[in-house]
Amino acid sequence: MGVSKKKLTAYVGMVLMTIGAIRTLILLFESWAMVREEREADEELIQLCKNGSARSSLKMRSACLQARADKASPVLLKALMVALGTAFGEFKESVSSYYGLMTVCLFILASLVLPMLPWLRAVLSFWSVDEELDEDMESNRHHVVVVGGGSHARKRLGFMRRRQRSQTRTPELEMSPYLGDRVLELT
């Protein structure tokens, strides 16, 4: 049994997405290990700072402040920032050529813009239909009053009904309470 192009594309997309997720997790774990190692190495520097070694040196004070600031941030958040920085650097390196930039533009167009077009069309057509309906309702607000009985009035009313149906608007007939059954209103 063969696989359709749509399913094949879905499988390839799923494999690529899985590879991307694995790469992101690897970057996160690598940066976590790197941040923990840096903090362990900075422990000696922090002990020197607590003992007051080289207190008068401007470079030593700045190194102590930097080590304390690094220790203050949570390991996970710092590792996440390092991983995102690495991922962005890799992305920037791969997009630095003209063809890479065109690939990114094509990706944005295909994954963000094209799926939203039917929604945009629906919203825009909804707004334009509302405006057209409002204009049609304003222009079609008229009443026809037929006074008198007889065959001429009935023929005229039948003609008006046929004309209204051909304009896709169904007339509503109401009996006037003022003059009995001799007056009809067409609204």
H helices, E strands: number in the chain: 6, 3
Q: Give pTM, 2 decimals.
A: 0.47
Same domain, yes or no: 90 and 17: yes
Q: What is the pLDDT of residues 68-91, one digit of tens each?
A: 888 888 888 989 999 989 988 888
Q: Does residue 121 belong to any structural domain of this protein?
A: no
Q: Is residue 167 part of a domain?
A: yes
Q: Is residue 161 part of a domain?
A: yes
Are residues 146 and 84 part of one domain? Answer: no
Count how many domains the chain has: 2
Residue 178 placed within a domain = yes
59-75: average pLDDT: 86
Q: Is residue 30 part of a domain?
A: yes
pLDDT tens sequence across 47-57: 888 888 777 88
74 and 149 in one domain?
no
Task: Supply the pLDDT for residue 183.
Answer: 47
* Shared domain check, 143 and 92: no
| Within a domain: 120 | no
135 sits in which H/E element: helix 114-139
Backbone angles phi, psi at 174, to 5 degrees: -130, 140
Task: State the distance between the two ends of the chain, measured CA to CA, in whole angstroms.
Answer: 63
Full residue range of the structural domain in which residue 156 is found: 139-186
Q: Are residues 12 and 92 in the same domain?
A: yes
pLDDT at 139 over 70: no
